[in-house]
Amino acid sequence: MGWLTISLAVRWVLGWFLGWRLPALVAAQPTQSQRISVLIPARNEEATLPHLLRGLTQQSIQPTEVIVVDDHSTDATAETAQTAEQSLPIKVIQPPALPEGWCGKTWALHHGVIASSGDVLVFLDADCEPEPAFLASILAVREQLGGLVSVQPYHRTEKPYEQLSLLFNLVGLMAVPLGPRCGVAFGPAMATSREDYGRSGGHAGVAERVVEDWFLAHNYEQAGLPVSAFIGFGQIAYRMYPGGLKDMVLGFDKNFATAAGEVRWPWMLAVLLWLSGLFWAAWCLPAALLGWPLMGSHNLAVNGVLYGCFALQLLVLTRRVGRFSWINLLFPIPVLFFLAVFLLAIINLERGQVHWKGRVFSTRSHG
């Protein structure tokens, strides 16, 4: 067995370690009765918002109030919220014009909190689709752990282009520690007490951050409050970027360009090692078939086994992350997509800005 084979085997084993330790939000019931405010930032979300509001009507624990913050949408987002299920205690508000030094989402949620009255604040992105037990579960875990509790939703895909997001979903979870008091937060679904939110500085403390969840987590920890994160398999899902391939590229580019520097280096190193093995496996089989340059064995059977091992690994690891099927077997395609968006993010880091939902955001550090 050559050194290259051993090296790839180590990287493959590392992938199992990184992808297997993804704790899911457990089903539970809170013991305390509290006023619950659900806060939903929504900018041009007329297509996704109905799924979330329908899911909220089916919760085993009903919120005291649901505040939809219409972030100056140019579509029918506000009307969609106002004509939603009458059984939900919905209030639709629109914040003042976006000032300098704020991002749209942080400005929207800041005003949503001001307009709310609950003891517990639950922040949900407009594209989330919660199962009936979700609200009870996240409230129970927050009651147990305190501080900020967040959940990364299961990625529900529908169209072929959405399958290209496979590596972004998996790598985004591999690259961070998860579980109780891990210090990581996911913005799509978060719960906290109003008191802890105030102690952390809230969204005013992360006003200019495009990827506000990372920095909100830092502020909670600096205030001496725990931060916990879980995956949403079986509890909450979302369909990312239903608007098309361009939206998906811009969305992942935004996240790459603004949050990559926040990943802790030991996790980043481990993920890069695994990715290098995956990239090699993506190259080796077509290279052996077509006679392209290839370091190591050109044996078709050996390279076929290597390719099959990584394809099987992706099939197993992604089943709790999102709905990905045939793309796992053709993983060189999402590998190329991943590399292309990564290069675009580097370009935007140099430019100092990214575009998202009709706005321009800075990728420069604000200290």
Q: Which CATH superfamily is domain 23-243 in?
A: Spore Coat Polysaccharide Biosynthesis Protein SpsA; Chain A (3.90.550.10)
The pLDDT value recorded for residue 257 is 57
Give strand pairing partners of 359. 356
Distance CA 72, CA 206 (A): 20
- DSSP one-letter string for 135-184: HHHHHHHHHHH-SEEEEE-EE---SGGGGGGHHHHHHHHHTS--BTT-S-
Distance CA 240, CA 153 (A): 10
The pLDDT value recorded for residue 333 is 95
- Cβ atoms of 44 and 247 within 8 Å: the answer is no
Distance CA 248, CA 168 (A): 11
**Contacts (Cβ under 8 Å, ≥6 apart) of 326:** 163
Question: Any idea which of 84-88, 128-132, 275-279 has the lowest mean pLDDT?
Answer: 84-88
Assign 364 a pLDDT band (cuts: 50, 70, 90).
Answer: low
Distance CA 280, CA 203 (A): 42
Mean pLDDT of the chain: 90
Q: Which residue has the higher pLDDT, 184 or 355?
A: 184
Distance CA 339, CA 97 (A): 37
Query: Which sequence spans correspond to the domains of the chain?
Result: 3-19+262-362, 23-243
Nearest Cα to Cα of residue 75 among 101, 49, 108: 49
Looking only at the bridges linking them, the beta strands covering 154-155 and 236-238 are parallel
Q: What's the residue count for the chain?
A: 367
SS3 362: strand
Single-letter amino acid code for the residue at 360:
V
Region 349-356: what's the mean pLDDT? 64
Q: What is the largest CA-CA distance in the chain?
A: 67
The pLDDT value recorded for residue 265 is 75
Which residue blocks in the chain are alpha helix, DSSP H? 3-20, 49-57, 77-82, 104-115, 134-145, 166-174, 194-200, 212-222, 245-259, 265-290, 300-317, 332-351
Assign 201 a pLDDT band (cuts: 50, 70, 90).
Answer: very high
Distance CA 179, CA 176 (A): 10
**Contacts (Cβ under 8 Å, ≥6 apart) of 64:** 35, 36, 37, 89, 117, 118
Looking only at the bridges linking them, the beta strands covering 148-152 and 189-193 are antiparallel
Question: Any idea which of 79-88, 131-140, 199-208 has the lowest mean pLDDT?
Answer: 79-88
The pLDDT value recorded for residue 360 is 66
Q: How far apart are the first and last CA of the chain?
A: 49
Assign 1 a pLDDT band (cuts: 50, 70, 90).
Answer: very low
SS3 228: strand
pLDDT tens, position by position, 251-297:
887 776 555 556 677 888 999 999 999 999 999 888 888 888 877 77
pLDDT tens, position by position, 134-193:
999 999 999 999 999 999 999 999 999 999 999 999 998 998 999 999 999 999 999 999
Region 222-234: what's the mean pLDDT? 98
Single-letter amino acid code for the residue at 172:
G
pLDDT tens, position by position, 13-66:
999 999 998 999 999 999 999 999 999 999 999 999 999 999 999 999 999 999
Percent of the chain exceeding pLDDT 70 equals 91
Region 320-332: what's the mean pLDDT? 94
List the structure tokens of 309: 């091992």
- Cβ atoms of 111 and 92 within 8 Å: the answer is no
Sheet holding 154-155: strands in order across? 128-130, 236-238, 154-155
pTM of the model: 0.91
Region 228-239: what's the mean pLDDT? 97
The owner of tokens 């949620």 is: 109
Q: For the beta carbon of residue 27, count every other beta carbon within 10 angstroms.
A: 15
